[in-house]
Amino acid sequence: MLRGQERRLIPCRNIQDAKHEQDPSAFPSTGRVAYYMDPKDILAFSRLEDDGFRVGVIYHSHPDHGPYFSETDRRQALSDGEPNYPGVTYVVMSVVSRTLKAVAAYNWNPERRTFDRIDQGDLVGSPHSPSSRSAALIAASNRVIPGGVNSPVRAFRGVGGEPFFVASAEGARLTDVDGRSYLDFVGSWGPMILGHAARPVVEAVTAAVSRGTSYGAPTPGEVDLAEMITAAYPSMEMVRLVSSGTEATMSAIRLARGATGRDVLLKFDGCYHGHADSLLVKAGSGGATFGIPDSAGVPESLARLTVTTAFNDIAAVRAMFEARGREIAAVIVEPVAGNMGVVPPAPGFLEALRELCTRHGAVLIFDEVITGFRLAFGGAQMKYGVSPDLTCLGKIIGGGLPVGAYGGRRDLMSRIAPLGPVYQAGTLSGNPLAVAAGLATLRALREGEVYRRLDTLGAELERGLLAAAGKAGVPLTVNRVGSMLTGFFTNGPVTDYATAKRSDTARYGRFFHGMLARGVFLAPSQFEAAFVSLAHREADIAAAAEAAAQSMATAH
Ligand SMILES: Cc1ncc(COP(=O)(O)O)c(C=O)c1O
Low-confidence winner among 188-202, 284-298, 329-343, 363-377 (lowest mean pLDDT): 284-298
* Interior angle at CA 553, CA 547 and CA 556, nearest 5: 125
- Of the residues 106, 182, 272, 508, which is catalytic? 272
pLDDT band at 450 (very low <50, low <70, confident <90, very high): very high
Lowest mean pLDDT among 120-124, 166-170, 336-340, 507-511: 120-124
125 confidence band (pLDDT: 50, 70, 90): very low
Q: Is the CB of 360 under 6 A from ligand 1?
A: no
Determine the residue of 149, 153, 249, 289 to mutate for testing ligand 1's pocket, defined as the one with the most ligand atoms within 8 A of the Cβ atom: 249
Mutate to test the pocket of ligand 1, among 370, 403, 528 (most ligand atoms within 8 A of CB): 370
Q: Give residue 194's pLDDT.
A: 98
Secondary structure, 3-state, 47-107: HHHHCCCECCEEEEEECCCCCCCCHHHHHHHEECCEECCCCCEEEEEEEECCEEEEEEEEE
CA 279 to ligand 1 center in whole angstroms: 11
Q: For residues 382 and 423, what is the distance between their CA atoms, to the nearest angstrom?
A: 30
pLDDT tens profile 170-201: 999 999 999 999 999 999 999 999 999 999 99
- Check pLDDT > 70 for residue 5: no
Distance 395 CA to ligand 1 centre (A): 8
Mutate which of 151, 247, 272 to test ligand 1's pocket (most atoms within 8 Å of Cβ)? 272
pLDDT at site 184: 98
Q: Where are the alpha helices (DSSP H) in 330-385?
A: 349-360, 379-384
More confident residue, 12 or 226: 226
Separation of alpha carbons 170 and 159, rounded Å: 25
Q: What span, in angstroms and rounded, lies between the C-alpha atoms of 186 and 151? A: 14
Residue whose CA is closest, atom 13 of ligand 1?
Answer: 274
Instruction: Report which residue type is found at 174.
Output: L
**What is the mean pLDDT of the segment spanning 486-493?**
96
Instruction: Please state, in angstroms and as integers, the Cα–Cα distance from residue 226 to each residue in 218, 388, 393, following that order.
Output: 12, 18, 12
ω into residue 493 within 30 of 0, thus cis?
A: yes
Question: How many residues are given for the chain?
Answer: 556
Q: What is the overall mean pLDDT for the chain?
A: 90
| pLDDT of residue 234 exceeding 90 | yes
Alpha helices (H) along 409-527: 410-413, 432-446, 450-472, 497-500, 505-517
Tell me: pLDDT of 148 over 50: yes
Q: With a 6 A CB cut-off, is 248 part of the ligand 1 pocket? A: no
Active site residue 395: yes
Distance between CA atoms of residues 110 and 58, nearest Å: 18
Is ligand 1 within 6 A of the CB of residue 391? Answer: no
Q: Which atom of ligand 1 is nearest to the CA of 246?
A: 11
- The CB of 246 under 6 Å from ligand 1? The reply is yes
Domains of the chain, start order: 2-117 (no CATH), 133-184+449-554 (3.90.1150.10), 221-446 (3.40.640.10)
**Contact (CB, 8 A) for 467 and 455:** no
**Can you give the pLDDT at residue 33?**
54
Which of 395, 451, 496, 508 is flagged as catalytic? 395
Strand-pair partners of 365: 332, 390
pLDDT digits (tens, 9 = 90+) for 511-541: 999 999 999 999 999 999 999 999 999 999 9
Instruction: Please say if the pLDDT value at position 491 is more than 80.
Output: yes
For residues 20-37, give the mean pLDDT. 71
- Report the nearest atom of ligand 1 relative to the CA of 394: 10
> Which amino acid makes up residue 447?
E
How close is the Cα of 329 to the center of ligand 1, in Å? Answer: 21
Q: How many CB atoms neighbour CB 351 within 10 A?
A: 14
Question: With a 6 A CB cut-off, is 243 part of the ligand 1 pocket?
Answer: no
Q: What integer pLDDT is reported at residue 195 of this predicted model?
A: 98
H or E, element range at 220: helix 220-232
- What is the rounded average pLDDT of the residues 282-301? 63
- Give the mean model confidence (pLDDT) for residues 309-316: 97
Lowest mean pLDDT among 78-82, 145-149, 361-365: 78-82
Q: Which pLDDT does position 92 carry in this prediction?
A: 83
How far apart CA 195 and CA 479 sit, in angstroms, is 22
Alpha helix positions (H), 261-360: 285-290, 300-303, 314-324, 349-360
245 close to ligand 1 (CB < 6 Angstrom): yes
pLDDT at res. 309: 95
Kindly tell me if the per-residue pLDDT of 67 is higher than 70: yes
* Annotated catalytic residue within 367, 389, 455, 496: 367
367 is catalytic: yes
Residue 289 has pLDDT above 60, yes or no: no
Is residue 152 lining ligand 1, measured as CB closer than 6 Å? no
Q: Are 85 and 45 spatial neighbours (Cβ–Cβ below 8 Å)?
A: no
CA–CA gap between residue 420 and residue 325 (Å, rounded):
25
Whole-number pLDDT of residue 99:
64
Whether the CB of 367 sits within 6 Å of ligand 1: yes
pLDDT band at 64 (very low <50, low <70, confident <90, very high): low
